[in-house]
Amino acid sequence: MTDGWHAERPTTLILVRHGQSDGNARHIFQGQLDMPLTDLGRKQAEALAEHLMSRQISVMYTSDLSRAMETARIVGKKLGLEPIVDSRLREIDLGGWSGLTRDQVIARYPEEWEAWGRGMDIGHAGGESFERFWARVRGFIEDVLERHPGETILAVAHGGVSRILASKLLGLGLREMFTRLAPSLNTGITEARFCEGRAELVAWMDGTHLEKPRLPGTTTTWYRG
């Protein structure tokens, strides 16, 4: 994981998950379904924006899904940054799982659910495999690191994007990606630092900005996007 990740001084990627969406509130698997933020999600985005005011961020990117774009607009307005849309930051495509609850997925796709639980890269009922997912996320990361060497980059995306980057940096397998990394937070901050071909995970789903005042309902499983 070194190609295109070189810089004489550190390049920092701040990767944040979107605020709570309607799909998160309804506890469904979203994947690439285009779901808006809830009122709570907007409050979370505002808290995130205040928290990031102290960082020297030079550029901001966002997924093209509504829940990420709305989060990015709220943050960008506060930071004076115009979000750059990049579809490679989309959540993993969950195919036939999209729009279903956990119980519905188990009932309709029992073999896939069991295989996924064993750490197999199943492709999600006609959706995207983790191998393909990582290829597009990695392509985005390599591009922005080459465009912005030595800078601090903000990207507003999804729980899956943060999780697959963190798992690759930590050398975790697919099953470990689910069992060893804690659940995602809406607007949780994952931070990575890159320098001279090395990559370091600095933070995983930091939710400090959600603590004072405490915003309820911030913890949801990452996989719901």
- For the annotated catalytic residues, the residue numbers are 18, 91
Residues β-bridged to residue 62:
85, 156
Handedness of CA 67, 37, 18, 173 (dihedral sign): negative
User: For residues 119 and 53, what is the distance between their CA atoms, to the nearest angstrom?
Assistant: 39
Residues β-bridged to residue 11:
194
Residues β-bridged to residue 60:
154
Range list of β-strands (E), the chain: 11-17, 59-62, 84-85, 152-157, 189-195, 198-206
The answer to whether 62 touches 36, Cβ cutoff 8 Å, is no
- Among all chains, which residue has been given the structure tokens 């956990």? 102
Range list of β-strands (E), 19-166: 59-62, 84-85, 152-157
